[in-house]
Amino acid sequence: MERRWSPVFNPSNLLKAIWQWVDARLDLSPIVKHASEKQVPEHRHSSWYYWGGICLFLFVVQVLTGVLLMVYYRSGPDAYDSVREITYQIRFGWLIRSVHAWSANLMIFAVFVHMFSVFFMKAYRQPREFGWWSGLGLLGLCMVFGFSGYLLPMDELAFFATRVGLAIPETLPGMSGIISAVLRGGPEVASATLQRFFALHVVVLPALFAPLLGIHLWLVQKHGNALPPSEEAKPEAERKSVPFFPNFAMRDMAVWLIVLNVIAVLAALFPWQLDAAADPLKPAPPGIHPEWYFMSQFEALKLLGRVIPGTLGEFAGVGLFTLALLMWAAVPLFDTRTAPGQRGRNTTLFGLLVLIAVIALTVIGYIEVL
């Protein structure tokens, strides 16, 4: 006898039924409708749109590998030994650690690229000011993530670099007590510091980062992708776009795959090494310097310190930095053009100046320490 399948067992009917059941309870239809109606502009600068997605992907890699590392990582006096076990004994532990470290660096790089692309495309202008500020907040948190994560292996390099890093703000009047009490947990970088950095890295920062990221993504969805002034100037009929789903989403995934492969190559060919265990009694090894993303700030302070020696120089340096950072954050308040196509050349020049200064100071910093 021929066996007939009832329509209810048809896979597409079954999927439809499941979808209806879920949608009736969670009301997901508007989100799907939004995704299917959303358009992404297509023009000669549209490759910059991928960088936000790259940052998000790298963050996901960070979370996944971070959780796996936490399975074996032991904060406190055993920290170094646990990282040694991860790197040299646990199967593929070295891979997870290398992927975590490389993707952290790539993520900060991607966030920088994303920030400058947003800046030069003038995507901070009305109504996207909060997108700009939330993005800057995320960059700041990423850098603190990097700084706190660097100490966790508690090897020689991590120990001395953290000691140098924490000594910079300590020179400012009134800061010494705060740094000692809050971050270092005592007069020296030690076990207490490690515990605080660990708590910061895995609890405090994610707790701040996740909601801020949620707000940032919600704003991106709400306002859509910004058009650069050169595209805004075109009549609407000449502008082109592609649907976000599935066209742009598929391209996004392809870019993520390429990024994943870049991480794999870096982790495989240049696996993250582990130095000797930190020994506070030993002298600092030569050439200790901050990570590359702090290098421009470090070098600027150093150069300023040569012009104005002593605490005054440090104070002036930090003051100048704060001012520059505030100006950078306040760009949407200065550049308030709303008519389409207005380029804002002075703002572009300011952005170029900042970009060149950051790159030049980083390069000079590396030339000096190497």
Partner 1 sequence: MNYPVWDVTFLGSGLMIALIAIFHVFISHFAVGGGFYLPMTEALALRKGRKDWMEQLKKHSKFFLILTGVFGAVTGVGIWFVIGLANPEATSTLIHFWVFAWGIEWVVFLVELSSIAAYYYLWGRVSDALHIKIGWVYAITAWLSLFAINGILTFMLTPGQPWLAVAGSGHETFAFWSAFFNPTFWPSLLVRTLICLSMAGVFALVSASRIDGEKHPELKTETILWARKWLLPSFLLLPVGLFWYLSQVPEGHRALLSLGAATVGQGLFTILTRLTIVLALASFGTVASVYLLTSQRNAVGFRLGAALGIASLAYMTIGATEMLREMLRKPYVIGQHMYSNGVRKSEVAGFNQNGYLTKTLWVRPEERARWAAEDQAAASGAPRIVNPARGELMFRGQCMACHTWDGYRGMRTFLKGRDRQGVSNIVNVLHAYRADSPYRPFMPPLVGTQAEVESLIDYLTSQVSAPKPQPSKP
Give min distance, CB of 121 to partner 1, in A.
17
Tokens of 363: 């390069």
Residue number, 37 or 188, with CB nearest to partner 1: 37
Give the footprint of partner 1 on this chain (CB under 8 A).
Answer: 42, 47, 87-95, 98, 242-243, 246-247, 250-251, 253-255, 257-258, 260-261, 264-265, 267-269, 271, 273, 370
Peptide bond into 286 cis (omega under 30): no
Give min distance, CB of 128 to partner 1, in A.
25
Give min distance, CB of 2 to partner 1, in A.
34
Give min distance, CB of 11 to partner 1, in A.
22
Containing H/E element for 39? strand 39-42
Pairs from 318-322 (Cβ < 8 Å, separation ≥ 24)? 318/169, 318/172, 321/297
Residue number, 90 or 205, with CB nearest to partner 1: 90
Distance CA(312)–CA(172), nearest Å, equals: 9
Q: Are 135 and 166 in contact (CB under 8 A)?
A: no
One DSSP character per residue, 331-362 reads HHHH----STT---HHHHHHHHHHHHHHHHHH
Residue number, 28 or 250, with CB nearest to partner 1: 250
Enter the DSSP assignment of 154. -
Residue number, 200 or 267, with CB nearest to partner 1: 267
Residue number, 95 or 151, with CB nearest to partner 1: 95
Give min distance, CB of 254 to partner 1, in A.
4
Residue 10 CB neighbours (<10 A): 12
Give min distance, CB of 49 to partner 1, in A.
13
Residue 135 CB neighbours (<10 A): 24
Closest by CA position to 122, among listed 328, 329, 348, 327? 348
Residue number, 114 or 128, with CB nearest to partner 1: 114
Q: Are 291 and 146 in contact (CB under 8 A)?
A: yes
Give min distance, CB of 247 to partner 1, in A.
5
Residue number, 89 or 346, with CB nearest to partner 1: 89
Cβ contacts of residue 56 below 8 Å, gap of 6+? 213, 217
Give min distance, CB of 366 to partner 1, in A.
12
Residue number, 267 or 331, with CB nearest to partner 1: 267
Tokens of 273: 């090494």
Distance CA(180)–CA(166), nearest Å, equals: 9
